[in-house]
Structure 1
Amino acid sequence: MARMDELYPPIAPRAEGFLETGDGHRIRCQEAGNPAGKPVVVLHGGPGSGIAPMARRHFDPSAYRIVLFDQRGSGQSTPDAGDLTANTLWHLVADMELLRERLGIERWQLFGGSWGATLALAYAETHPSRVSEIILRGVFTVRQSELDWIYRGGAAHLFPREWEAFLAPLPASLRDDPLSGYAVLLDDPAEDVRHRAAVAWSTWEGATVSVLPQEAFVRQYADPAFALTFARLAVHYFTRGAWLDDGQLIRDAGKLAGIPGVIVQGRYDTVCPPVTAYEVHRAWPGSELKLLEGAGHAVTDPGVLAALRAATDSFRE
């Protein structure tokens, strides 16, 4: 699997604080690396996963000014996922622009995987003049076809036992549309119902994320402290199509013309199949698609860390 020597050595944040958005949210932010270096902002997945220390290690710390933040409802940002007020994709885009201005950054590189790739595309298509380069991994654009694949039985053909466990909390009346069914369960007044649903939702992704089964992923995703935020935010966003027209991020990818970019995609990604990365690449003039033959969705799958490091190294000057 992953070789940790394909990452830069561990690095601690050199600055940390909170960004007041003006609408009741406080966004936890970090900086690491060279304060005079090339700015890059790391966009975490989920939605709901939060800052991961390993994310700082994709970048040469002598060359990059590394900015990370917990998106609304995630990590140490407040309010938490129990309060979904003013929490949409476009709020996140606005938070990024506010953060860029507060940090005095003219243009920055975007680095995001999975849901982080969704946010990167939405921000770049809204503010292309503020983006120097883009690096995406495991591309997801929240089209209905993508949601149907993972939540209405497509991936179930590859993971039948895990799919059965995913459906288990749902009564028969809600199984035709599991995404909407989980929205009902996660809003149930009974705490045990909400907890069971969150763990089942999250465990489904943990079971499908890697090209080879990894018990560590299943344990991580099944942890109730992680699962409650992860499931609640994901269902909140996905039942609403992330406030996007269906196919919008691919439709508008022509706005990225002139922005260099690398797309790192696992051939056997069962969470975000490579057709989406391919279609983004076709619609984004000048982008480079690196399709990794031995990888799935996980950042630790074979070849992914090396490909991401090669991309960040290529843009560090």
Structure 2
Amino acid sequence: MNKMNQFYPEISPFNDFLLDVDGQHRIYVEQCGNPKGQPVLFIHGGPGGGCSTNDRRFFDPEQYHIILFDQRGCGRSLPHGCLDNNETNFLVADIEKIRQHLNIEQWHVFGGSWGSTLSLVYAEAHPVSVKSLVLRGIFLGREVDTNWTFSGGGATRIFPDYWQDYIDVLPLGREQATTKAAYEMLIGEDKALAQKIATAWSIWEIRCCTLIPDQAFVDAATGDDHAWTLARHEAHFMVNDCFLTDNQILANCDKIKDIPTTIVHGRYDIVCPADNAWLLHQQLPNSRLVISEASGHASVEPNTKHHLIAATQSMLSL
């Protein structure tokens, strides 16, 4: 039995491939663990984050057939950084194409942050495909949620020094401190400026992710390539209301009310405040809400990691 605050050992994929989903986008997919185990899909955050080697390690590799993929335009998916035809409904369709390609009838779904958003939208669209949900750091994708972090909302009042570092990179300073203004520069002709803003955007967000400052965590998530897709994808989705209708996720919770769901959320999550999780739990009365008392937003914080690994162990009995 795994110590619940420890990752499972590092593993390598037994298979990986690029899946052509529309003649333009090719999605990187990898399979790890036991090919005869219970299938589980890991959905990464961002948008634009891509998967890391630690993402495989929330699951017992002897018991699970672990499937990870990089969403359109990020990680190892091609073309890198492409925002064309990159919308929530296309990502949902990609997930179903992966399931069908692998001949999986039903799988567990595990997602954090934007991954929780996409997990919920996918489950609401394809409830019969989902055996259970483990969701971390809930992001409901409403305007109030995007404004909180990137348009001078509540997060900027809690980390004013980090926010100032971001503002200082913007050519016109505070007057450009909106998602829309940042997006126009991120997709603009001045690639050097776009990269500078992408890096500053990513550093701002990743610094806010952990309860205890963690420079190694920030450095690992804000290299040029990673920052480029993270910032541009996030801004692209946010200026388009995450390609969701108003309050779409909460309004459609009746469609997933019978799916066993565990919600893990950090008490001190500044990127996605805990009311996101609370509101979701109210709409899913059969869900289990676990408040991670000594954590912010990141999945690797010890308290949250413990609760997530406990949840994946519990999923095996479903």
- TM-score (normalizing by structure 1): 0.95
Distance in 2 (CA, whole Å) between partners of 1:60 and 1:163 is 39
Cross-structure match for 1:91: 90
Structure-2 residue corresponding to 1:256: 256
Assess if the C-alpha contact under 8 Å between 2:140 and 2:276 holds in 1: yes
Aligned CA distance change for structure 1 residues 272 and 73 (closer, same or farther; 3 Å)? same
Q: Tell me how far apart the structure 1 counterparts of residues 141 and 65 of structure 2 sit (CA, whole Å).
A: 30
Q: One-letter code of the match for 1:100?
A: R
Query: Are 2:111 and 1:112 equivalent residues in the alignment?
Result: yes
Cα deviation for residue 170 of structure 1 reads: 2.8
Q: Is the 8 A contact 1:136 1:263 kept in 2?
A: yes
3-state DSSP of counterpart to 1:109: strand
302-311 or 111-120, larger mean C-alpha shift = 302-311
Q: Is the 1:220–1:226 Cα contact (8 Å) retained in structure 2?
A: no
Contact 1:167 1:178 in 2 (8 A): no
Q: Which residue of 1 aligns with 2:142?
A: 143
Match of 1:49 in 2: 49
Is residue 5–residue 305 contact of structure 2 (8 Å, CA) maintained in 1? no
Q: How does 1:3-152 map to 2 (within 5 A)?
A: 6-81=6-81, 83-152=82-151
Q: Partners of 2:36 and 2:218 in 1: how far apart?
A: 39
Residues 125-274 of structure 1 aligned to structure 2 (within 5 Å)? 125-153=124-152, 154-172=154-172, 175=175, 178-274=178-274
Q: Is the 8 A contact 1:254 1:285 kept in 2?
A: no
Query: Distance in 1 between the 2:310 and 2:4 partners?
Result: 14
Q: Say which SS state the counterpart of residue 275 (structure 2) adopts.
A: helix
Worse-matched range after superposition: 216-225 or 285-294: 216-225
Q: Is the 8 A contact 2:42 2:109 kept in 1?
A: yes
Q: Within 1, Cα distance between the matches of 2:62 and 2:172?
A: 56
1:232-262 deviation line (CA, Å, top 9, x unaligned):
1111111101110121111111211110010
Identity within the alignment, %: 39
SS in 2 for 1:210: coil
Per-residue CA distance 1:73-102 (angstroms, 9 max, x = gap): 111111111x21111011110000011011
Q: Kindly tell me: are residues 4 and 286 of structure 1, through their superposed partners in 2, closer, same or farther at Cα, counting changes over 3 Å?
A: closer
The 4+ residue runs of structure 1 with deviation greater than 3 A are 171-174
Q: Is the 8 A contact 1:174 1:180 kept in 2?
A: no
- Secondary structure of residue in 2 paired with 1:65: strand
Q: Which moved more, 1:191-200 or 1:105-114?
A: 191-200
Label 1:224 to 1:173 Cα distance change in 2 as closer, same or farther (>3 A).
closer
Q: CA deviation at 1:218?
A: 2.5
Q: How far is the alpha carbon of 1:107 from its aligned partner?
A: 0.6
- State the partner residue of 1:287: 287
Output the amino acid matched with 2:68. Answer: L
Q: What is the TM-score of this pair, normalised by structure 2? A: 0.95
Unmatched tracts of structure 1, length 5 or more? none
* SS of structure 2 residue aligned to 1:39: strand
Determine the C-alpha separation between the residues in 1 that align with 2:165 and 2:289: 34
Kindly provide the amino acid, as one letter, of the partner of residue 76 in structure 2. Q
Q: CA distance change for structure 1 residues 136 and 14 in 2, over 3 Å: closer, same or farther?
A: same
Say which SS state the counterpart of residue 6 (structure 1) adopts. Answer: coil
Q: Is the 8 A contact 2:163 2:204 kept in 1?
A: yes
CA distance 1:4–1:292, shift in 2 (3 Å)? closer
CA distance in 1, matches of 2:243, 2:137: 20
| Amino acid corresponding to residue 57 of structure 1 in structure 2 | R
Corresponding residue SS for 1:23? coil
The 1:4/1:80 distance shift into structure 2, 3 A limit, reads farther
Q: Deviations over 1:178-198 (max 9, x none)?
A: 101101111221222111111
Instruction: Give the unaligned 5+ runs of structure 2.
Output: none
Contact 2:167/2:177 (8 A) holds in 1: no
Q: Give the aligned CA root-mean-square deviation in angstroms.
A: 1.5
Work out whether residues 4 and 310 of structure 2, in 8 Å CA contact, stay in contact via their aligned partners in 1. Answer: no
Q: 1:219 to 1:145 in 2, by over 3 A?
A: same
The more displaced of 136-145 and 160-169 is 160-169
Residue 313 of structure 1 and its aligned partner are, at CA, apart by 0.4
Cα distance in structure 2, aligned partners of 1:18 and 1:316? 29
Distance 1:68 1:142 in 2: 22
CA distance in 2 between counterparts of 1:176 and 1:186 reads 12
SS of the equivalent of 1:303 reads helix
